[in-house]
Every structure is written in structure tokens, then in C-alpha cells.
Structure 1
């Protein structure tokens, strides 16, 4: 009798709930009371802009599950997946640019939940990236959401909140990335007496490659409002934004954090609209990283009070280092996770799947509480 009740009593006393959600504890992630390192990949799409909604996922389910299998079998625990991108399929806009729903046929939520159920079988957390600022091809509708708060409100009410409500209790729902590489469309070299909105520091950085269309304050409000909606709907949700470089992710090392709590609240006015973790991308040029890049610094050197994830990196633009060395550096230098780019291996600046899976295999058995934390866990 004693042998039967003792384990239950121990779990109660230590306040550990098996199967619990990923949470933030200081500058790290924890799950079931243990520090966790997010070791994974960017998928990031199967069919760019046409992966979810209107039965697109159903038609491509076998491809999605094949990539989940690959990541699981090689020891990965998380994937970053792009969803709306520029609004090619989702959400649905009316002729005035207001959002009227997630998709035309009403299958989006069902499809995304099917994907999360599949990910759960493979113990993989999914991080949904909503929008993309790295390319402007069909961005007029997205631009309406960024500039017009009435249109942004329609997206939040008609699409985002219903989506969050539907998936907030799914074990494989890892978190949300509001926008990929906003720097592609930001207006740089804009002086503002409010430091949060000043982008003079970005002059000559290469930002604006997709068209300098939006002021910093517009993008910050865009993030603030959506993050607030997610966290009001699901108080335990994890939310980030995928910065192109660390230049905009810290106020140390001569950098400027556009996504600090203070700046987001000043831009959008919504108290809950602040990130729960930071994400930056890291690519070298001519085999050399920028001086401020993550692979030149420990995470603590950025002075952040939240987890810091290297959300995109690869070997082909990895400063001459092997993929295993890059994963190892992130793990041993205080970062909370690392996601390689990107599993489909398309484009000249992408590692092929073989290289990325080799990186995951190198990481799979790591479990050092004093360094990166646990890689393999159950959902």
C-alpha cells in the first residue's frame, strides 16, 4: 500500500505535473520542472503560402508527417512553421481589406489541430510564424493590417483569437512568432525623439531589402496588439518575433532593442502585448559573422531578461563552422534554443536536410542542467 501511494505524494509535494506546458523561467525554458533546450528546425513551409486552410493541409498531410518523422527520428524537439506569410490563402480579406475569417471553407482550425495532433505523436513542439516581412509579393493586404488599426482589429477578432482558443490546450502548440524578419520592410534612418521609434541606428545595415514601407512604431504596434490578443486568450502562451539580426534585439553591445517591453507598450498601448522570449537570426557573410552576432557572444552578453533563441542559422552561412559546432555553441553558451534553416533545403542559403538532421542527431542526448538543459522530452 505504501509503495503505491508514495509516488503520487511525491509528485504532489514537488508540484511537478507530467505533460505540462513549456514555460519561461528567467532566461530559460522549463518543462515538467526541468530546464529545456529547443533543438529543432525551420520547416518553414511545404507549399509557400498555401499550407493551411481551404483543405491545403489535408492534400499535403503525408509530406507534413514525413518531416515530423525525420525530425523526431533524428532527435529534434521543435519546429518553426510559417502560416499566413503575406495572406496568400489565410486569413480571408474582403474587398476593403478587412479580415472576415481564417479561410474560405472553414477548415483552417481543423487542419491546424490535425497537424498539432500529428506533432504530439512525435513529441515535437510547433511554433507558428504568422507573417513574413522578408519578401513583398502579395503584401498589400498585410500592409493594411500594419497601417490601419481597424483592419488589424478585424484580424484579431475574426481570425487570431478563434485560432488561439482552438489550440491553446494542444500539447504540441509550442508558441507564436508574430513576424519573420520585419527588417525587410522597415523604414531605416528615421530620427525620432522617442528612442523606441528611432531607426537611425539601422542606416547602412541592409534593412529594407523588401521595400522600406513601414515605420518602426507601426510594426511595433502590429506586434503589440497581436501579442496582447494571444496572451489575453491564453495567458500561458509563448510569443516572440523573428528578428533578422541581433542588431534590433538588445540594448547592449551598441545595439537597440526595438522589441523591449517598454517599446512595444509605447507603440501599441496594450500592457500584455510584450514578448515572452526573444528570437534572432544569424548568418555569416564571406564566412564571417557580424561582431554582434550570437555565435560571437554568450547569451548573457545581450543583457536580456528572457530566453533568447537563435531562430534561424545554417552551415552554408555558418562562419566556416560545421552544423554540429553551431548547435553546440548555442547549447553551451546560454541560448534557449536553436532552429536550423530550412528543412526543405530550397534556395542557395539553405542547408540540405542531411546536414540539418546531422545537427539534430548531435544534440539528441544532451541533458546538462547547468548548460543547455534537456533536449528529449515527452508531450
Structure 2
């Protein structure tokens, strides 16, 4: 009898705990047109509503708003793509609470969406994770979130991995306002507790959120975590007329939850971005004249939830026609006096925009219009809701249109200011400059030019150069293929210093960038240092490396080689001196190193290997000195013919091959030109008096020479 009572009691408790899950039939959508999209602002007095939030709107008390990120210090990655937002509504990954069935993502369908976005040069898709809480997260009998199964995390990783393969990123939206509605398997009471009661919120964070966030980490395909989709829909003040809700909450509950969840994410994974999807301008823009307020500023969120780490990195704002002209990002430009963070327009329909009192906007121009108005992203709605050909074509045009506009973003970044000590007290110091963080969203940057006091000191994203004592403001000028330019300045200070321990420099020179002649072939191999090596065959095949050293003396030269056919001998020359026939041995088909001590002269030197037995591979050589940095950079040791490997130019010298005259273009007045033979001997020397000048080379014998124009680098010349 006692056992029967206990069983009945357990049954009653179980029924009570889960009786609140909705029995509505499942639909793969939400009948969106019957909800907020019939919301007409004229039904509401927005100024009156804003006044009701004055007590919790701390924006007016803040001395200054958060600054928009400086492009040099924090370039915002614009979003351009579409909402999926689900393949199977609430069931992309989850557990059926009624039967224990596991729901897993249909990756083929995800791939279809991703291919569409990628084909139109987009970069982001927006996908809903918990959605309404019907299958994910898992709840216990006390309506608290329990420990979630690991396959949830694996499913998210699989989606992100697929996006990474497609060159895309995913904005993962955790929750939608649907969590309080009467929809299949939704427990609106449990979800309300999760949002409003601290113990239930902590259970969600500890058992579902943080395990997922830590499993994903800073995945390269994660664009951002989005806390809510349109949480204002759960409030009476903004959406009391929306049908189908079983529970309602207040704006302060929403702010507190966003604060606590974003704080937990940031503390666990500080490098990821966090955002929120607002219903519209009315709750995300500070504009009293229109009755708008920004509920999601740092100060408002922190005041609501108390977590100093609980803030957003950027905003998502949605737009539908009910918001009219006042609430339209297509008719209002991004205004830093009213909104304090980068803002993505995270939902809108791919339809012609027709509003009374203003010209129509064609659907294909919506993306372009958002960029013209300086909004930092466009994510159109939605793959699952809009399946007809017209809508899909409009989506394609919107993505392409927005992308064509963002291609004009060209930002030069010369790196951080640097200070050096003169390590050997010679009145100058060798330094490195790095402009590789410069960006151009359209395609690759065409050129990098570094200048000191108006004179070019190097070209390329990264250079090494020598500067005298003092302060130098180095200007980086970058150019794209449309010849647009952007500049940035980095300050380099060289101070006097005591001579300390020697600085060991180990410079690498790739064989495929050296001068190669006759029976020599460049081959690809991912296991080599730069993905390629040189196959030195027989019949006078030759590899010549050129480089500078700071002073006369013995240097360690390391040859990286492979003897696939066993022991080999090759001839070695250093400058004009024949060193001898050098042995290369060791196990076959294995990369190994041979070290030799070679006597080099101050300035330019050449090391040449000529085939004796031939038939072996070379990856690179390194020149090691303990005196000071050398100019042994292949960015300065340039080849101008395919026979020499990769084609690189620091300035214009032509024609190559040359017969009687050689033209030097882009030089500075007073630059020195030197022509060396392959042994490092100066054959011809002259001073340039024009920016473009012809040099008489008719007196040179047929052969291969090396040209140097001041500090602009070297390249090979073939004389016919």
C-alpha cells in the first residue's frame, strides 16, 4: 500500500512538472506575419512608453557613451549574409521531451544555405540554437536546466566546421521571444523562471551555456553569440497585442538576463564577440524626440544585472515595415550620437520597401542602402521563411550589393610605435616594420611603400631597415588595384645604449627565390619551409643566393637539403672563390642540414651551388652572424624572370632581357645604381639624376648580372 502511494505520488509530481509543456502540433515556422509584423507604431505612444523607463534608463547619467572602435586598433568585421534561421524549427539539435528522440542537424541543408551565401560573396549566416527551449536545453523535474548532452556541443561544432570550410562565420542566436509562447513542447513557466529567478538562471549558465561556450571556444567560424531574438516581444509594454503568449516579463528582466549571460560568456571566453537582436530602433537607439531609448548600453545592462563583464560588443537591430520611416535603417544613417556601438541590421525582408511619403527602394538595392547609411552589417530574413525564386534572387542581390559597397574599405596599419637601443653603439640600429595588419575588404592590397622623411626606405608588408639615432616618423602608404591609397604613421625611436651581449640573427633564404639556371626545377612540397623546394639536376644546373653581411669574417652557412637518390657531390663557389666539391650525404628522402663556415666580405655576397653529380633537392640556406642583423631577406633579393623562381619587383627595371639600354623607373634623385656579376664583383656603377633614366649596358657581355639601386633592393638582369 505504501509503495503504491509513493508510485502514485511520483507520477503526480512528474505530470505536474511537465504538464505545462505545450501540446500544440509542431510547425516548421512561427506564422510571423500574425505577430510583430502587424505591429503598427501608431497604436502605441512611444514617448509615453519611453518615459516609463526613465527610472531604469541610466544613459543620461553617463558622462560619455562607449566609443566606436578605432579602425586602426579594432577593425570591426562587417556582417553580410542571411538568416537561416533554422532548418527544423527548435529541432536542429535537441532531445524530444515527450519521447527521448534525439534531433540532429541536417548538414546537407546547412551546406545548401552556406553555398548560397558563399556564392554571393557573403560572410555570415545567423542561426538559432535554443530557439524556444522545446528540445534544448534539457530540464530536470524541478524545471531547472540540467546537464546537457555532449552531442549538443558536437552538433554546433559540426555546423561551425562546415562554415569554416565555406569561408563563412555563424552568428549563433541563443533564445527567441518564442520561449514564452504556446508552441510545441515549450514549458513557458520553466522558461520564465530561467529568465527571472536567479537560481534558475545560474542552473542554465552552469549546465547548458558555459559547457557549450567552452566547447566551442574561439572557433574561427564563430562570428558572435547573440543572447536574444527580439526579447521585447515578451513584454506587455511593447507587444501586449501579440497572440499566443502564455507568460510575459519586463524589460528589466531582459536587461538583467543579458547582463548575466554575456558576463558569463566573456569571463569564460574573453575573445569572442557578444550581441543581442533588438526588435527595432525603439529599444536600441537613444532618441527622445521619437520615443526611442537604448536599453542595451553598457551602463543600463550593468545596472540591471550587476555584472561588470556583462555588456555587448555590438548591436543587432531588426526592421520591418511597422517601424515606418522613423525606425528605418534604410532612411536613417548610423548616428554615433544616438547609438554607441557598431550595429548590424540583423533582420529585414528581401522585398521592395514601399512606405508612404518616401520613394520606394527596390529590394536589390537594400544591401547597398544599408552600407551607404554606414550600418555595419546586413543579415536578411530568411532562408526558411522565403523559398520562392523571387525572394532568393533578391537575397542574392542584397548580399552582392552590400558586398560591393564594403569593398571600398582600405585601412593602413603601420603597427605599434617602437623604441630601440643602439645595441652596438654604432649610431644606428636595424629595425623591423610590419604593416601586415592593414586591411582591404575588396581583395588583396596591391602595394606597400614605407617612407622616412619623404624617401622610400622599403616596399612590402614587412621590411627590415637601418635607422640612425633619433625619432623617426615612418609613413606607410598602401594602395589597392583601383589605386585608392591609405596611410598610417608609426614612430620609431633609436636611443643610445650600452653594448650588451651579441644578438644572434639567423636569416633564411629560400632556394625557390634564388637565381636558378639550366637543369633546375621548382617543385611544391607542403613539408618544406615555404611550401616549395628546388630540384638541382645535372648538366650545369646552378643555384645562386645573394645577401649582405655587416662585416668581414667567418659565418655559419646552413644548407637544408634532401638526397632522394643517396650520396651526392656538388660544386660550391663563394663570390669569386671556388671552395671545392662538397659532400651531401645522409638517409634518403629526409630533409637534413649541412653546416659550413664560410669567409664572407662586408656587403654583398653570393653563394653558388653548381651540379657536379646533381640530382638532389635544396629547401633553403641560412646565414648566421653574432654581430648584427643582416640584410638577408628574399624580399630584397628579387627575381625578374621565371627562370629565377618567383617573380617579385620592388621598383621598375626594364626591359629584361636587355640589349643596349636598361630603364630604371621610380628612383630617387642621387640614387646609386650598381651592376654585379654573379660573383659579387661590381661591373658598372653610376648615379641617377632623374626619376626615370636609361642606362647604357651595351658594353656588358651576354650573361646574368645583379642590379642594385640604393636601398630599393636587387634583381637579376639577363643581357642578350
User: Which of the five TM-score ranges fits, normalised by the shorter chain?
Assistant: 0.7 to 0.9
Q: Return the alpha-carbon distance in structure 1 between the equivalents of residues 403 and 266 of structure 2.
A: 31
Alignment equivalent of 1:352, drawn from 391, 397, 419: 391
Q: Return the alpha-carbon distance in structure 1 between the equivalents of residues 311 and 278 of structure 2.
A: 15
Matched, 1:167 2:213: no
Report the counterpart of residue 375 of structure 2 in structure 1. 335
Deviations 1:284-317 (A, max 9, x none): 14xx824132222111166222101111012337
Q: Return the alpha-carbon distance in structure 1 between the equivalents of residues 337 and 82 of structure 2.
A: 23
Partner SS state of residue 295, structure 1: coil
CA, structure 1 residues 33+303, in 2 after alignment: closer, same or farther (shift >3 Å)? closer
Alignment equivalent of 2:441, drawn from 364, 374, 379: 374
Q: Return the alpha-carbon distance in structure 2 between the equivalents of residues 262 and 64 of structure 1.
A: 38
Q: Return the alpha-carbon distance in structure 2 between the equivalents of residues 273 and 85 of structure 1.
A: 21
Deviations 1:235-265 (A, max 9, x none): 1221111111110002125311111111111
Q: Return the alpha-carbon distance in structure 2 between the equivalents of residues 210 and 283 of structure 1.
A: 20
Q: Return the alpha-carbon distance in structure 1 between the equivalents of residues 255 and 267 of structure 2.
A: 18
Q: Return the alpha-carbon distance in structure 1 between the equivalents of residues 90 and 128 of structure 2.
A: 8
Q: Return the alpha-carbon distance in structure 2 between the equivalents of residues 296 and 70 of structure 1.
A: 28
Matched, 1:110 2:154: yes
Report the counterpart of residue 236 of structure 1 in structure 2. 271
TM-score (norm: length of structure 2): 0.43
Q: CA contact under 8 A between 1:279 and 1:308: conserved in structure 2? A: yes
CA, structure 1 residues 210+276, in 2 after alignment: closer, same or farther (shift >3 Å)? farther
CA, structure 1 residues 116+325, in 2 after alignment: closer, same or farther (shift >3 Å)? same
Alignment equivalent of 1:91, drawn from 137, 145, 149: 137
Alignment equivalent of 1:46, drawn from 87, 103, 115: 87
Q: Where does 1:235-254 land on structure 2 (aligned, <5 Å)?
A: 235-252=270-287, 253-254=289-290
Deviations 1:119-176 (A, max 9, x none): 0011111001011115712233321211211011001001111111111231001101
- The number of residues matched between the two structures is 332
Report the counterpart of residue 257 of structure 1 in structure 2. 294
CA, structure 1 residues 145+290, in 2 after alignment: closer, same or farther (shift >3 Å)? farther
Report the counterpart of residue 120 of structure 1 in structure 2. 164
Q: CA contact under 8 A between 1:77 and 1:375: conserved in structure 2? A: no
More strand by share: 2
Alignment equivalent of 1:73, drawn from 119, 125, 132: 119
Moved more, 155-164 or 338-347: 338-347
Q: Return the alpha-carbon distance in structure 2 between the equivalents of residues 125 and 29 of structure 1.
A: 23
Structure index of larger Rg:
2
Alignment equivalent of 1:277, drawn from 305, 314, 333: 314
Q: Return the alpha-carbon distance in structure 2 between the equivalents of residues 43 and 304 of structure 1.
A: 27
Unpaired runs of at least 5, structure 1 = 1-24, 189-201
Deviations 1:31-88 (A, max 9, x none): 9975532111111000000002455335x11111111111111111001101101111
More helix by share: 1
Moved more, 328-337 or 296-305: 296-305
TM-score (norm: length of structure 1): 0.79
Partner SS state of residue 251, structure 1: strand
Q: CA contact under 8 A between 1:81 and 1:128: conserved in structure 2? A: yes
Q: CA contact under 8 A between 1:98 and 1:155: conserved in structure 2? A: yes
Q: Where does 1:14-29 land on structure 2 (aligned, <5 Å)?
A: 27=68
Alpha-carbon distance, 1:118 to partner: 0.5
Q: Return the alpha-carbon distance in structure 2 between the equivalents of residues 154 and 35 of structure 1.
A: 33
Q: CA contact under 8 A between 2:177 and 2:231: conserved in structure 1? A: yes
Q: CA contact under 8 A between 1:39 and 1:375: conserved in structure 2? A: no
Report the counterpart of residue 78 of structure 2 in structure 1. 37
Q: Return the alpha-carbon distance in structure 2 between the equivalents of residues 265 and 359 of structure 1.
A: 36
Q: Return the alpha-carbon distance in structure 2 between the equivalents of residues 161 and 36 of structure 1.
A: 25
Report the counterpart of residue 227 of structure 2 in structure 1. 178
Q: Where does 1:206-245 land on structure 2 (aligned, <5 Å)?
A: 211=245, 213-245=248-280
Moved over 6 A (4+): 29-33
Partner SS state of residue 127, structure 1: strand
Alignment equivalent of 2:191, drawn from 122, 142, 148: 142
Q: Return the alpha-carbon distance in structure 2 between the equivalents of residues 207 and 262 of structure 1.
A: 30
Unpaired runs of at least 5, structure 2 = 1-65, 96-101, 355-359, 412-439, 445-720
Q: CA contact under 8 A between 1:312 and 1:340: conserved in structure 2? A: yes
